[in-house]
Each structure stands twice: as structure tokens, then as C-alpha cells.
Amino acid sequence: MKKGLILLVIFLLVGCESILTDAPNANEAKNKDGQEANADSATRSDNHSDENDSNIETQTIHVTAEQVTRGNLVLVNKEHPLDEGAVPTDIVKLFQEQDLMNGYVLLDNTIRLSRSVALQFREMVDAAGEDGVHHFMISSGYRDTEEQEVLYREKGSDYALPPGYSEHNLGLSMDIGSTQMSIDQAPEGKWLQKHAWEFGFILRYPPDKTEITGIQYEPWHFRYVGLPHSMIMNDLGLTLEEYLDYLKNSSSYKTTVEGKKYEITYVPVTTKDIALEIPAGSEYEVSGNNIDGVIVTVNLSQDDGE
């Protein structure tokens, strides 16, 4: 009987030792799981901030509710009319700006456009010229609401939008043609399809996105959104509508263009004034989406001494 009790005690002790030996392994597995979860979380947060962000000096910028309707990324379509204050103040009649007129012609002498956008367009056609593509023409640019009203009455709703609902009322869009043939067949159109994004332009109404844009394919209609946005939209195959939704769902996005690092952040605007922290000394741009918030684009390259 005593032998049996002794054997039972030995058996229990061995069993306890086995349990105690296994316990650290169980805890270790739990810690590993926690580390993996943390690593995944860190990977996701890397799209939003660096590990040492807390050590970076910051500056405060203020975003006002008015800025929701201003900037290169504002959405203007059948659902989101243009705010009159969004029209750039540098609208010019291109015919009178000879420094802007290199490399292309105008359909008529009344065509207007934002001067800063016209400068980007001039750089773009200069680059196309280096590739042997020369026959560009601007057939339409900025229209004020009165001009849009006339067009809408003449063409009807099947071919024109009401005043305030057309991108041409914004001053950042243009219809680009070729003096040789229709733009969808011309070398100019094919060159733009490949390279326009490099200069901040997007084909606004692609052939396979009509259900999203609400506009039939227009191979001539290009919109300026600026870099790095045009590159991201080109890489991901997104229209402006889709891109704004993408940024809103991502909250923050990082990318590199021509050696420059950018962080792009969607910020909902719910009050008249919002204070935001960005790296001190950084170049930045703020554009509204014309819906409910702003897109803050920060050039992070200066943080690396570039």
C-alpha cells in the first residue's frame, strides 16, 4: 500500500513537472503571437507614420472649412457643383501670353486657362516635342458660368453640363486635340495616354469608367491634379472619384516620386478651423475634395536632408 502511494506521488510530481515545463512554451507562443500582431500593426502604421515620428519637430497649420471647396483635387461633377471661390485667380487668355504658347496652337483666340496649369502644359508639350510629337492644339479651356449656360442651352443635357457642374468652369481642365487627326488616333493622344501623368495631368473620363464619372469617354479632356496624385491615379487606374474615396478609406498614403517622399492624408473637416501637425519646415499643399474634407500633401524629403 505504501509502495502504491509512493508511486502515485512520484507520478503526480512528474506530471506537474511536465505541466510546469510546458507552461513557458505556451507563454512564449502567446508572446510570439502578440509580437506578430504588433508587427502587422507596425506595418500598417508605417503607411501613416514612422517609428520616430514622436521625435520629429512639427509645425501647426490651420485648415478652414472654406478650403474644402478649393484646390487641385476638388471634385466637380453632376453631384458636386463648383464653388465660385474655387476658380483660380490666375486665369489668363492664352493668346495674350506668348511665353505660354510654345509647342501648340489654339482653336480660337478666346481660350482661357489657369496660368500655372498652362505652364505645366507647356512643359508637357515641350517633352512631347523631344519625342517627335508636335501637333498639339487646345480646343477648349476655362469657361465662366455665362459661357457654360450658353453651351448648355445650345447642346442640351446630352452633350453639356449645367453651369457650375462642368470641370471647364474650374480652370484646371482643357480639351486637347491634334491638328493632324482625331486625338484618339493621333500620336499626340497616344503620347498623352502614356506621359500626361508625369506632368500632373490625368485623362479625366476614361473609356471604362463611365458608370463612375457619369461622362462618356472623352479622349481629349485632361484635368490637372498635380504630382504625386497623377502618378498614384495612373498606377492604380483610378478616376478622381475613386482616388478621393481611396484616400478617405486609407486615411494616409506614402509614396515617392522622382526621389521625393510624400505623405498624403485625408482630413475630415467638421468645424470652421482645424489645427494639424506636420513636420517642421516641410513643403505642403492643401486641397479640398469639394465634399467633406481636405487632402494634405506633405513633401517629406527635407527630413532626409534632400
- Of the ranges 70-74, 147-151, 176-180, 202-206, which one carries the lowest mean pLDDT score? 147-151
Q: Which of 138, 136, 157, 139 is nearest to 148 (CA)?
A: 157
pTM: 0.80
Res. 302 pLDDT band, cuts 50 70 90:
low
Q: What is the pLDDT of residue 36?
A: 28
Cα separation, 211 vs 234, in Å, equals 19
Q: What is the pLDDT of residue 155?
A: 85
- Overall average pLDDT of the 179-186 stretch: 96
120 and 133 fall within a common domain: yes
Share of the chain above pLDDT 70, in %: 81
Q: Which of 134, 67, 124, 42 is nearest to 297 (CA)?
A: 67
Q: Give the residue carrying C-alpha cell 523631344.
A: 130
102 and 217 fall within a common domain: yes
Res. 304 pLDDT band, cuts 50 70 90:
very low
Per-residue pLDDT reduced to its tens digit, 136-165 = 999 999 999 999 999 999 888 877 899 999
Structural domain includes residue 22: no
96 and 215 fall within a common domain: yes
DSSP string covering 108-165: STT-EEEHHHHHHHHHHHHHHHHTT---EEEEE-B--HHHHHHHHHHH-TTT-PPTTS
Q: Containing domain of residue 206, as a range?
A: 88-141+173-224
- The domain that contains 64 carries what CATH number? 3.30.200.180
216 and 277 fall within a common domain: no
Catalytic residue among 123, 149, 198, 218: 218
Does residue 123 have an active-site annotation?
no
Whether the per-residue pLDDT at 24 is higher than 50: the answer is no
